Each structure stands twice: as C-alpha cells, then as structure tokens.
Amino acid sequence: MVLPQGSGLPSLLQTLSLIADPIAFFDKQSRLYGDPFTTRVLGVNSPPVVFLSSPEAMQAVFTTLANKLELGKVTDVFRPLVGNESLIMQDGSRHQQQRQMLMPALHGEGMYRWGQTICDLTAEAVDRWKAGSVLNIQKEMLNISLEVILRVVFGMKPGSRYWQLQPLLHRLLEDINSPLYSVQFFLPPLQQDLGRWSPWGQFVRIRQQIDDLLYAEIADRQPQGIHDRSDILSALMSATDAEGQPLTDVELRDQLMTLLLLGHETSASGLTWIFYWLQREPQIADRLLKELDALDDQADPMTIANQPYLNAVCKETLRIYPIALISQPRWVKETIDLMGCTYEPGTVLVPSIYLAHRRSDTYPNPDRFEPERFLGKAKSPYEYLPFGGGSRSCIGMALAMYEMKLVLATVLRRVTLVSSSEMLPAVKPTRRGITFVPPKGFRVSVGDRRGAKVLVS
C-alpha cells in the first residue's frame, strides 16, 4: 500500500489534537505534508485516515470510485436524537429511496412559497430590537432559525402545542451543543438513564416530551387533510415510495428531527458569520446595501434571493469557514489507485471541505473574505462543496441558502448594526457543537432604522 505522507506521532496524540482544535490540525497537517495527507485519528488502533482536498480526488470519491467505497458511520452519534429511520442513518438503496421521497418537499415551488414567511418572521424579530441595545447576534439568529423550522418545516402556528414545543426544542438544542452534555453522544457507556436529574435521563425525558407533541401534530393533521398546506411536514405526509406507500409516523418524526438538527444550528451559524464579516469589511457591506437599496420596497422573496452580490456574500461566507469541515468519510472496500497512491481495504478517505475551500490554486488569497470570487465563472461541485458532495450532500441545501439570503436581506433593509472594536474580536472560530462560529465576544449594537449603512466604529 502506497500512502501519502503524514505524521509519525502516536495515533492517540493525533486523535486528541484533532478533537481539541480541528481547524488548527488541518492547517498544520496540510502545511507539513501537502495534499493528500495520512493521519491516524480514530483512536489507539486507528486505521490510516487520509484527508483529500483536490477537485480531482473529490470527483473520484464522489463519482467514479464511489462503488468501491462505503460510508463511514460518523452519523451514528446522532441516532439517539434523530432515530433509526432518519435519512442520515440509511445506506444504499434505502437511502436513495428515502432521498427521492424527501427531495420534492425541500425544493421547487413549495420552497419558494415559504419565502414570505421567512421574511415576515425575520421582520418581527428585528422590530423587537431596541435602538442602542447590544445583541448577541448568534443568539438572535438561533431564535429566528427555530421559528422558521417551527413554521416552515413543522407547519405549526402559535397555539398551545406550539408554545409547548418551542421551549423544549430550544432547551434540547442548547443542551446538545454544550461540551459537557454532548460528550454523552460520543461515549455510549454514558448513555444511562439514572433518573430525571442525570444528564442522559434529562435528555430522554425532553426527547419524549418532544416526540409526544410531534406525534400528536401528525395525528391531528391526517384527518384534516394536507393538500392545501405548503409546509414540509405536510409535503412529507403526501410523499409515497415506488410502491405507493407513504412514510410511517416514525419515519415522519425522524425526518423532522433530522431537519431540525441539520437546519437549525447550521443556518444560524452561517448567518452569524455573515454579520461578522460585514462588520470587518465595511466596503463589502456598503456594496451589498447598495444592491438591496436598489430593490423596490415590494420586491418579492425570489427577486431578493436572486440578487447576485447577496448570493456571492452568502457563498463566500460558507467558503471561508464552512459549517461542516468534512464531507462524510468513506471506507475503502476494494483496493483502489487514486492520484499516485494505492489504498487497500480498511483505509478511510475523508473529503475535507475546509481544505478544498482553502486551496490557493482554486481561491487566490484564500484567507481573505472576497465575495467577488462568486460573481464570475461558477465553481465546480468538487471545488465548492459547503453542503458536502455526491449522493450524501445535504438534502436541505437549497432551503438553507434561500433562508440565509432572505434573513440577511430582511435584517439589512430594516436596521443598522454597528460593532465597536471591543465587540469585534479577531478572527478565531469557536466550536459550538458540530459547527464553528465567530468568537464568543462578537456583539452588535442596534443603530438607525431603515436605509442606514452598516458601519464599523
């Protein structure tokens, strides 16, 4: 077996280094060993784990060599939350069948109808911000993202069940992003229900309360009919497989929890990064505002979302610090040759989104925030892949981008946000659960309403 170069440190040290600071780990290994590089980061007896970033390697892994690879079970840590029937837990034909059933609910005309709801929910949140107040913008984006999921994905309106579910979901999502709490998902021996005051016991009870409310919503909606509704849950309830069979209640519940897990934190983190970069780069904020100010006050959501510089700002944000650092690992099941190296069965290949987005041959000056990169020729899906690639790319990526653009545009068209030097720390991503967000000290203060520029003081 001919492997790429890599560190000779013991596998345990490599594993701990990756866990402690993944971005620093990738930067160092790439600088020392180039692309690709070999690590041993799966514990004491780790097999070779090879990180790839070139477009040629990405394309091979996602397409021409895909049938000689199998997916690593990195998603198993989410099983207690999303359930056994979740799309991300499926492989092979079962995954393909489920994906085909879910895809129409997350794309096309249905998605466009949600645009006004997203704008309205954002406007309601912004109008509650008081002039002169200092905001934790990450928290505000999390609140908006959760509202979007409740209205657009779950199809719920304010009422008894809505007000019960909202705080439960908020608490669950905050808990699973806490380092001390989330470690339970990675260490099955800790998953012991020792009563309502034990960490796992609290999780189990919150999950059960959420499940009861979701199953009640599903049961109520079935006899009422779903054909005149446009939310994602109703669309999923209308979907059938090749044999004409609909999703079961358990499958519906698991897909809802999957969309919650993958859509809440990621959208909020991406938006938080955008506001951070607009504060650091006022000339970019000015250009974006000029584009938005040129729109008619009654511009519809699709017109807003199709603005080229708005699109470029969102794409560049997901390039420079992608929400997911890697695409799903693949295990080699047949010996393969790839770009001068030979990989035998048992080797793990990991497409690195972060490193692919930092290649200077694809993105000159990759550490600089330059939305103009995305105003010219489109990047290939092997050069730009913030939502992963191949058959396992994120099924909700179209909705995520649509939401990010509409939330951003709505905020900027209604209010000025200002950061002083004390509220704008140096660029250093901070881990929050499975995502990386701007430094904890990042804050914005609310300035003038309507038509004012985003400034850095």
In the DSSP assignment, the letter for residue 451 is: S
Write out the DSSP string of 87-125: GGG--HHHHHHHHHHHGGGGSTHHHHHTHHHHHHHHHHH
- Quick check: 454 pLDDT over 50? no
Over residues 21-34, the pLDDT tens digits come to 899 999 999 999 99
- For residues 9 and 325, what is the distance between their CA atoms, to the nearest angstrom? 23
User: Locate tokens 């012991």: which residue?
Assistant: 192
Calculate mean pLDDT across residues 133-154.
93
- Band (pLDDT 50/70/90 cuts) for residue 455 is very low
Phi, psi for residue 337 in degrees, rounded to 5 = -110, 130
Contact between 52 and 35 under an 8 Å Cβ cutoff? The reply is yes
Question: What ranges in 246-385 are assigned the alpha helix state H?
Answer: 249-280, 282-293, 301-305, 308-320, 353-356
* Better-scored residue on pLDDT, 177 or 340: 340
Share of the chain above pLDDT 70, in %: 94
Strands 430-432 and 341-343: unpaired
- Quick check: 437 pLDDT over 60? yes
pLDDT attached to residue 452:
35
374-379, Cβ contacts within 8 angstroms, sequence gap of 24 or more: 374/311, 374/312, 374/315, 374/316, 375/308, 375/309, 375/312
Name the token pair of 386.
Answer: 């913030």
- For residues 386 and 375, what is the distance between their CA atoms, to the nearest angstrom? 17
Which of these, 267, 296, 243, 330, lies nearest to 50 by C-alpha position? 330
Q: Which domains does the chain have, with CATH numbers?
A: 47-155+229-456 (1.10.630.10)
Calculate mean pLDDT across residues 33-47.
89
pLDDT attached to residue 276:
95
- Quick check: 456 pLDDT over 50? no
Contacts of 220 (CB under 8 A, 6+ apart): none
- For residues 226 and 234, what is the distance between their CA atoms, to the nearest angstrom? 6
- Quick check: 35 pLDDT over 50? yes
Helix or strand holding residue 432 (H, E): strand 430-432
Helices 11-20 and 22-33, packing angle to 10 deg: 120
Calculate mean pLDDT across residues 230-237.
86
Over residues 272-322, the pLDDT tens digits come to 999 999 999 999 999 999 999 999 888 999 999 999 999 999 999 999 999
Mean pLDDT score of the chain: 88
- Quick check: 352 pLDDT over 80? yes
Residue type for position 132 = G
Contact between 141 and 126 under an 8 Å Cβ cutoff? The reply is no
**Window from 112-116, 280-284, 349-353, 434-438 with minimum mean pLDDT:** 434-438
| Single pTM value for the model | 0.91
